């Protein structure tokens, strides 16, 4: 059965003027990276999709930044590394941004921090494909755009797969987030190198780097660094939400429609986030593991900025570093306000996929009562997956999960666009996600 709705993604929607006002107020504009290293880090052993890694350190062990602290538990898994030099002072269950408590390694910084010397950069050109993948695997690189799928697994495609194009996703479409934008400006060569490594591994013919057209500095920097490469092009894509979604980007960019059960690679395209690409370059050329994260801290905080911090930095420490809250905080999202996760404790650590922290205070947080659906169809018009949010919501509320399954609730990417535009303020995205969870539960039981 064909599992994709008909029609083509034609560009999502722009945010309402009220959001634009905040976009200006909360805008982070900087051309250099600000760095913060806390006194302690809380590193979840598992920050990826796949098998949990196995601990290889104990309380009392001294580690350097970059040392392995948890080894991948299977092929579909990822290594975890110490992100600062110091002593392992605790192994405990600690909250992550899903609200669950997960196994976590606590490292206290050494007074005189000794950082592991960075290896001399080595060109990837002379390295065999297997060595390239092994180095990506050793470095614990995962999809940093939010997917957290281990990158070495994604790069290991079937022999008969024909990958024509590498697409770098620089469309950071959530409002207020600037981490990828800054990365493309300050590490443009590294971003390109990661894509060239993927191109070599997969035998692809060309690279397309997609950047939203409201990021002229990033476009300019990427153009400068790619001008001597005839197989690389920079595409300025429309600034609309959710342009950065995998399927939406490919439809808008290449007119490639990916079946819901398929992967972009089935259509000859390998898609990678720009931050992942830079991490691949470090993994291969310097054999450096993924231990730092660029994170935009904005909203109702005093100093809105994009900060490079060790993975495992607590959100509370990062907010303190940014001068603390403006007003009384009401909501804090890890990620953007559309697809990010609201957290209820400042003890949640930054992980490999935490590209933003958005704080909303009591003055700016808005609450609405739901009212009955007026059948305006706006939710269906904006849905990038061409679902019927209003009907999915109604069937979910009625407990008719079979109809939810027929209407492909599992295809929802939880972008929140339907909830955002609904004039009746219905909790569409939340209910559709719950419906997808229920369907999965029932399928497992069956």
Under the criterion CB under 6 A, does residue 423 sit at the interface with ligand SF4?
yes
Under the criterion CB under 6 A, does residue 260 sit at the interface with ligand SF4?
no
Show the CA angle centred on residue 114, arms to residues 112 and 115, nearest 5°. 140
Residues 365-384 that bind ligand SF4 (CB under 6 A): 373-379, 382-384
Q: For ligand SF4, which residue of 418, 431, 435, 439 counts as binding (CB under 6 A)?
A: 418
User: How near is the Cβ of 368 to ligand SF4 at its closest, in Å?
Assistant: 12
d(CA 195, CA 227): 15
Under the criterion CB under 6 A, does residue 415 sit at the interface with ligand SF4?
yes
Binding window for ligand SF4 (CB under 6 A); candidates: 161-169, 267-275, 312-320, 409-417? 409-417
CB atoms within 10 A of CB 375: 8
User: How near is the Cβ of 237 to ligand SF4 at its closest, in Å?
Assistant: 19
Residues 137-156 that bind ligand SF4 (CB under 6 A): none
> CA dist 378 to 140, 174, 404, Å?
42, 20, 19
- Encoded tokens for 333: 């999202």
Sign of CA dihedral 210, 214, 218, 223: positive
415 is in an annotated binding site: yes
Please choose, from the candidates 101, 107, 112, the residue with its C-alpha nearest in 3D space to the C-alpha of residue 42: 107
d(CA 349, CA 386): 35
Q: For ligand SF4, which residue of 43, 155, 413, 435 counts as binding (CB under 6 A)?
A: 413
Kindly list the strands in the beta sheet with 232-237, ordered across the sheet, starting from the edge strand earlier in the chain: 232-237, 206-212, 165-170, 269-273
d(CA 383, CA 157): 31
404 is in an annotated binding site: no
Nearer to ligand SF4, 280 or 382 (CB): 382
Q: For ligand SF4, which residue of 106, 210, 432, 439 counts as binding (CB under 6 A)?
A: 432
Which residues of this chain interact with ligand SF4, rule CB under 6 A?
A: 373-379, 382-385, 387, 389-390, 412-418, 422-424, 426, 428-429, 432
Query: Which residues define the annotated binding site for [4Fe-4S] cluster?
Result: 373, 376, 379, 383, 412, 415, 418, 422
Query: Which residues define the annotated binding site?
Result: 373, 376, 379, 383, 412, 415, 418, 422
């Amino acid at each position: 059965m064909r599992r994709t709705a008909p029609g083509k993604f034609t560009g999502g929607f722009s945010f309402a003027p009220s959001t634009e006002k905040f976009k200006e107020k909360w805008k982070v504009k900087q051309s250099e990276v600000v760095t913060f290293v806390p006194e302690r880090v809380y590193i979840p052993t598992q920050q990826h999709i796949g098998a949990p890694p196995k601990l290889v350190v104990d309380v009392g062990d001294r580690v350097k930044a970059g040392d392995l602290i948890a080894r991948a538990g299977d092929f579909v898994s990822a290594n975890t590394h110490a992100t600062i030099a110091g002593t392992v002072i605790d192994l405990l269950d600690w909250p992550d941004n899903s609200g669950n408590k997960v196994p976590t390694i606590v490292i206290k910084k050494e007074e005189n921090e000794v950082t592991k010397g960075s290896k001399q950069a080595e060109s990837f050109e002379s390295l065999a494909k297997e060595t390239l993948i092994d180095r990506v695997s050793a470095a614990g690189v995962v999809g940093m755009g939010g997917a957290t799928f281990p990158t070495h697994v994604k790069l290991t495609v079937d022999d008969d797969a024909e990958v024509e194009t590498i697409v770098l996703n620089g469309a950071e479409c959530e409002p207020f987030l600037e981490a990828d934008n800054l990365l493309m400006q300050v590490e443009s060569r590294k971003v390109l190198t990661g894509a060239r490594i993927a191109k070599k591994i997969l035998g692809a013919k060309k690279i397309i780097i997609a950047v939203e057209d409201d990021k002229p500095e990033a476009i300019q920097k990427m153009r400068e660094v790619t001008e001597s490469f005839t197989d690389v092009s920079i595409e300025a894509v429309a600034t609309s939400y959710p342009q950065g979604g995998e399927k939406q980007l490919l439809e808008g960019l290449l007119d490639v429609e990916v079946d819901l059960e398929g992967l972009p690679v089935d259509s000859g395209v390998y898609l990678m986030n720009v931050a992942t690409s830079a991490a691949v370059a470090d993994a291969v050329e310097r054999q450096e593991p993924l231990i730092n994260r660029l994170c935009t801290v904005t909203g109702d905080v005093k100093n809105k900025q994009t900060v490079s911090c060790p993975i495992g930095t607590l959100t509370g420490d990062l907010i303190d570093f940014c001068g603390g809250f403006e007003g009384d905080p009401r909501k804090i999202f890890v990620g953007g306000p559309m697809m990010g996760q609201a957290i209820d404790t400042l003890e949640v650590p930054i992980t490999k996929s935490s590209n933003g922290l958005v704080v909303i205070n009591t003055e700016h947080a808005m609450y609405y009562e739901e009212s009955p659906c007026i059948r305006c169809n706006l939710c269906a018009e904006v849905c990038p997956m061409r679902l019927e949010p209003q009907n999915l919501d109604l069937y979910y509320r009625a407990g008719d999960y079979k109809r939810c399954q027929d209407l492909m609730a599992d295809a929802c990417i939880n972008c929140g666009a339907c909830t955002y535009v609904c004039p009746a303020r219905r909790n569409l995205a939340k209910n559709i996600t719950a419906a997808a969870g229920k369907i999965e539960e029932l399928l497992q039981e069956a």
